[in-house]
Amino acid sequence: MRNHKSIITIILFLFGLNLFGQANDKSAYVFKLNESIFPSAFRKVKKAVKNAENMQADYLIMELNTYGGAVDMADSIRSLLLNTDVTSIVYINHNAASAGALISIACDSIFMSRSAEIGAASVVNQLGKKMPEKYQSYMRATMRSTAEAQNRNPTIAEGMVDEKIVVPGVVDSTKIVTFTTQEAIDNGYCEGMFDDIENLMKYLQIAPEKTEIQQASKTDAIIDFLLNPAFQGALLTIIFAGLYFELQSPGIGFALLASIGAAILYFAPNYIEGLAANWEIILFVVGLLLLAIEIFVIPGFGVAGILGVTAMITGLALSLIGNNVFDFSGTATGDVTGAFTMVMLSMLVSIVLSFLIGGSLFESPYFKKIALETTQDADQGYTIKQSGSDEMVGSSGIAATDLKISGTIEINDQRFDAVTQGEFIEKGTAVVIKENRGNYFVVSKMS
C-alpha cells in the first residue's frame, strides 16, 4: 500500500514539474484596435496577423473598442482572423458594436471587461439611418456564417442585426441583441471577464519575454491619416476644384499642380493597401486626358467630355473599395454606393465652393504673389491683333470644324480661330466675320 502511495506521489510530482515547466511559457502578439473600422483598421489587423504568423505565436490578441465602420473592411478583417492558424483572441475593453461585433465573433475566443458590450450590428448609413433590407440580409448571412464557423449560436448572431429575429430565452422580436459581459458569458459569446488585458494574459499563461506588442511607425501613422475618410473627401474636393480653376484660367499652373498633388496623395495609400488597382488609376488618368481633349482640342462638351468625367469618377470611387475589377461579390452593395456617393458629393462641393470663392481667390493677396499682375494695355502699344485682321471683318468663309460656340474657320485656304454668338454651326457651313477680337473672330451663319 505504501509502495502504491509512493508511486502516486512520484507521478504527481513529475506531473507538477511538467505543469510548472509549461506555465507562463506561451507567446503572443498583441495589438489595439480602438478606432472606427475603415481601411486603416484593416491595415493594422493585416500587419498584426502577418507578424503573429512570422513569430509563430501561440496567440494573436486584439484589444478592441469600436462603434463600427465600413462593412467591407470588417468583412476583410473577419476573413483574416478566420483564415489564420494562430489562435485569435479579442479582449473587448468597452464596445464591440456593429462591425466590431462581426470582428469579435470571428475570433476563436472572446473576453470582455466588466463594463463591455457586444452587438447592435444592423447596417446603417453615414447619418445612422438603417439601410434597406437587402443590406441587412447580407449582414445577417455574414454574421450567421461567422458564428457557425466559430461554434457559436448563429441565431443570436442574426439577432444582433435584425430585431425581428426571436431568440427564445434571450430576446423577443422587438429588440436587436446587445449583450453585457455577463449576458455574453451566459449565452456563449464570451469566455471570461477580466478587468484588464494584463490579467487576461496571466490567465493565458503568456510569458512577458515572449510577448510582442504592435508599435505604430511614423510611416504607419502617415498612411492611416491619408486613409481617413474625411481627409480623402478633402483630397477629392481639391482634385475637382483644382481642375475647375485650371479650366477657368488656363496657364495658372498652381491649380493643376494642386489637383495632381491631391490625386497622388489620394491614390498612393489606397494603392499600398491593395484597394486601388493599376487599371483604376489608369482609368482616372484616361478620364483626365479625355476631358482635356474635349476642352482644348474639340471645344464644347460632347462624348469625350462625358466619358472623361465618367472615367474619372469611376476610377476614384473604385479605388476606395476592395473589388476585383467589376466583381463586387466580396463587397457590400452599400460600400459601393457609398464610394460613388462620396466622390460625386466631393465633386459637387468643389463646384459650389469654386463659384463662391472663385472671384475672391483671384483677388486675394496670396494669389497676387504668385500670379502675373502686369497688364499690357493697347494705349502703351501692346496688341494681339494680326496686321490687316480688322479689314477681314465682313469677309465670308466656311466652318472648318464644328463651331460648338468655338472652333476654326477657313478663309482663302487660311485657318483662323473663331467663336459664335451662342449658336451651333456645323462644319462646312458658310459663315461671315462679324467682329475681330484680336486673336480670334466672332462669326455667324451666312444669311
**pTM as predicted:** 0.61
pLDDT digits (tens, 9 = 90+) for 400-432: 888 866 788 888 888 888 888 767 788 888 999
Q: What is the mean pLDDT of residues 284-300?
A: 75
Residue that is written with C-alpha cell 463651331 in the block = 403
Q: Which residues contact 362 (CB under 8 A, 6 or more apart)?
A: 249, 371
Distance between CA atoms of residues 246 and 258, nearest Å: 10
pLDDT in tens, 84-102: 999 999 999 999 999 999 9
Q: Give the whole-angstrom CA distance, residue 322 versus residue 270.
A: 10
Beta strands in 68-197 (DSSP E): 87-97, 109-112, 117-119, 178-180, 192-193
Three-class secondary structure of residue 135 per DSSP:
helix
CATH code linked to domain 378-445: 2.40.50.140
Which H or E run includes 152? Answer: none
Which residue spans of the chain are classified as CATH 2.40.50.140?
378-445
Q: What is the mean pLDDT of residues 240-265?
A: 75
Of the listed ranges 113-127, 136-150, 196-210, 212-226, the one predicted with least confidence = 212-226
Q: Say which DSSP state 379 is in.
A: G
Contacts of 86 (CB under 8 A, 6+ apart): 29, 49, 52, 53, 57, 58, 59, 60
Report residue 49's pLDDT band, with 50, 70 and 90 as the boundaries: very high
The one-character DSSP state at 378 is G
β-strand partners of 206: 26
Nearest to 239, CA basis, from 323, 334, 126, 353: 353
Q: Please provide the average confidence, as pLDDT, over all residues in the chain.
A: 80
Q: Within the chain, which residue ranges are assigned CATH 3.90.226.10?
A: 21-215
Asked whether residue 311 carries a pLDDT value surpassing 70, the answer given is yes
Which of 27, 37, 179, 208 lies closest to 112 in space, CA to CA?
179
The cell for 119 is: 452587438
Averaged pLDDT for residues 363-388: 51
| pLDDT score, position 151 | 95
Query: Is pLDDT at 374 greater than 80 in this prediction?
Result: no
70 close to 232: Cβ distance less than 8 angstroms: no
Report residue 331's pLDDT band, with 50, 70 and 90 as the boundaries: low
Non-local CB neighbours of 383 within 8 Å, separated by 6+ positions: 438
Residue 383 has pLDDT above 50, yes or no: no
Q: Residue 422: what pLDDT? A: 66
The CATH number fitting domain 21-215, selected from 3.40.50.620, 2.40.50.100, 3.90.226.10, 3.90.1150.10: 3.90.226.10
Q: Are strands 441-445 and 414-425 parallel, antiparallel or unpaired?
A: parallel
| Interval 12-27 mean pLDDT | 55
* Res. 77 pLDDT band, cuts 50 70 90: very high
Residues with Cβ within 8 Å of residue 388, at least 6 apart in sequence:
none
pLDDT value of residue 12 = 44
- State the Rg of the chain over Cα: 33
- Quickly state the pLDDT bin for 370 (edges 50, 70, 90): very low
